[in-house]
Structure 1
Amino acid sequence: MLSEEIVDQLLPVLPWWFLVSFGAYSLSSLGLGLVKFHDTPEAYESLLKEISQAKDELRNAGVSVD
């Protein structure tokens, strides 16, 4: 299979290699998500509507939100 010398050199760095690979994958996924992210006016309007609705519900419950 593998010689003992190769195993002795490879095994200690293997966890670091996995960690660096996972970090690179995570950062590239995050960067790609940011590049592909699109703001939509519909989502903005929907969010404002939900905020207004939540404020109205809190006011009806006697909570001051302003």
Structure 2
Amino acid sequence: MAQICHERHLFRFHDRRHLAVYLATTPRHQFGGASVDQIARRLRRRQSDQSVTMNSTVSYLIGVRR
């Protein structure tokens, strides 16, 4: 028998630079070797430099061995 568990992760960032630090240090996000400042500038071009809240759901499949 298996069970699926879902965990909601909530992330709050003060500004685009704070978000850029997170993105630059998370392996799933790749920016072609861009620095934190370069990433922050790219983000600011798209939106104003305000706080950001993001969320993601991580799902786990838990199996029980019999």
TM-score (normalised: structure 2): 0.21
Return the structure number with greater relative CO, CA threshold 8 A, min gap 6: 2
Structure with larger Rg? 1
Q: Structure 1-normalised TM-score?
A: 0.21
Higher strand share: 2
